[in-house]
Amino acid sequence: MTIEFQDVTKRFGQSKALNNVSFTVERGEIVGLLGPNGAGKTTTLRLISGFLYPTRGKVLVSGQDTRNHAREIRSQLGYLPENNPMYEDMKVWEFLSFIGQVFSYRPKKLRRAIANVIEISSLGEVVNKNIGTLSKGFRQRVGLASCLVHDPDILILDEPTSGLDPNQVIEIRNLIKELSSTKTILLSTHILPEVSAICQKVLIMNHGEVVADSAVSVLSKSGETKIHLEIKGKHPELSEQFKIMPEVMTVSHKGQGPNTSFVITADKDISAEISEYCLMKKLAILSLFHEEVSLEDVFRRLTHKNVEN
């Protein structure tokens, strides 16, 4: 099952929440939706669920337009909002039974569905406890289980690990990975390492626009590179020589005892060119390596650049 935005714009009065947004989430992918506050992430999720409709453009889920097929589309979706609303005075099995009845499950099918999601979500030890007495981690598991009762093809998860301790985070991430074998998952989060850990693709939004749409592995290798160089001896004058290289953006240096260290920022890895230059000048290289760009670096560069423009 796929999700597709086709030139989607969404206005609230004079305010434009989304501006000409287009992207596709393919079947079986885990896609991370990133962006600073106000970027348009929540509006995007609400458009997919049919809670909102676009002002212009189309939102398609499994090829169906949300404007004309909202009821059918909702039956294919499991949506876990950030605040994870539940009836705290219900026992876990009562709440899951209630969700199943919303989807008009017959008793026999409902029992099977509840047993299945309890096993998948590892809720056996708390199934007879009131939701209000559960830890944050178990409450998130109940929330995820409630999304799975009707066996949806697509999961929309908004900050699923927010507020969890490290062990709980790992447990929820592993569960999401397991679910991706049979479901398409769109995951909204502020936690960048989470995207690197479980997502194949990332969408970065800023001011209602998609500023990046790429595989995580590709995006992490894009943009600027930091090259760390240490040369034997005092050579601060080399800063000016490095700066005139076409790919170089910035150069900084500092003395470390009898040696000089440089941090060279370039729009690609030019370690080889720097090495050749040092050999030509008969300079002794003590260390030379380039620093991989993190997803956090890419996120900061894309969102800050968009703000400035």
Whole-structure pTM value? 0.75
Average pLDDT over residues 62-77: 91
- Please report the domains of the chain, with CATH numbers, ordered by start residue: 3-219 (3.40.50.300), 225-292 (3.30.70.1340)
Q: At what angle do helices 136-148 and 166-179 cross, to 10 degrees?
A: 10
E-strand ranges in 220-258 read 225-232, 248-256
Where b means 16+ CB within 10 Å and e means fewer, 33-72 reads: bbbbeebbbbbbbbbbbbebbbeebbbbbbeebbeebbee
Q: Beta-carbon neighbour count of residue 26 at 10 Å?
A: 13
Kindly report, residue by residue over 208-218, the tens digit of the pLDDT: 999 989 887 77
Q: Are 97 and 127 in contact (CB under 8 A)?
A: no
Kindly report, residue by residue over 152-206, the tens digit of the pLDDT: 999 999 888 877 888 888 888 888 888 888 899 999 987 888 888 889 899 999 9
Q: Beta-carbon neighbour count of residue 195 at 10 Å?
A: 27
Confidence of residue 305 (pLDDT cuts 50, 70, 90): low
pLDDT at position 223, please? 59
Q: pLDDT at residue 308 above 60?
A: no
Q: pLDDT at residue 75 above 80?
A: yes
Q: Which tokens go with 7?
A: 């030139």
Confidence of residue 149 (pLDDT cuts 50, 70, 90): very high
pLDDT at position 221, please? 63
pLDDT at position 309, please? 38
How far lies 274's CA from each of 125, 143, 223, 224, 259, in Å? 60, 53, 19, 16, 17
Q: Are 147 and 140 in contact (CB under 8 A)?
A: no
Kindly report, residue by residue over 8-62, the tens digit of the pLDDT: 999 999 999 999 999 999 988 999 999 888 899 989 999 998 889 999 999 999 9
pLDDT at position 306, please? 47
The residue whose two tokens read 């760009």 is: 293
Kindly report, residue by residue over 82-137, the tens digit of the pLDDT: 888 899 999 999 999 999 998 888 889 999 999 999 998 889 999 999 999 999 88
pLDDT at position 127, please? 95
